[in-house]
Structure 1
Amino acid sequence: MKNGIDFSQYPAAQQMIDEADVAHEAADYQMIRIDRDAAALRLAELLILCKAASSSSIPLRSRAKRSANYYHNQVRNEAHVFAQMEALREYKLSFDDLDRMMPHQNSVFLNGQR
């Protein structure tokens, strides 16, 4: 295990690995592409974003909504799909649930096809 992850502890990721038949490669995958300092900074920014989103100030709430797009994309870009699936499983969500929470991130919703 080069990445130090025992995927047997993570059922959603293990299922994807088994279905894709990539068990021999999984140890080489980098699950999270962000360092500890950058993660701490993002969490601090998210705390401020949450406070702005619950503010009574309409401009602050609007800015918070636009910022949510940035953080949504950052998480999707910096986490391997196995890590994303495991996080969604932990919160009992699916990608469809995530798409419903952030419909403007999914072009299918914009086209009204769902």
Structure 2
Amino acid sequence: MAEQLNFLEYKYPAFSDRVIDAAANRTLNAEPLIRELERINDVMRGLEQVFKIARTNTVQSDCFADREDGEAVEPPLSKYAIDSLLGLGQAAAGMALERIEQTASWADKHGVEERR
């Protein structure tokens, strides 16, 4: 029996086979795609930091809870602050996905150079 994927594990391709083939055949106007990748690169770098803060905060929370009397340990960020950062991450990822979908649609309509 074939292994079934959970809906969260399925990969939803953004770009059509037509666009992917055009890229492989060098008949795709890649300049707008590269610009979008640069924007998404900026978003991903920010998300990396958001998640690094959230994960590090868990360790900081443990260190703060286990500190000795009088030991100077910086307190962790509040749950509200972490929730706000994760909300920012979710919104940024959602916007990046929207831009990818818009760019994929553009590439399908306008990015493929017809061969003559």
* TM-score interval, smaller chain: 0.3 to 0.5
- TM-score under structure 2 normalisation? 0.36
Which has the higher Rg, Structure 1 or Structure 2? Answer: 2
- TM-score under structure 1 normalisation? 0.37
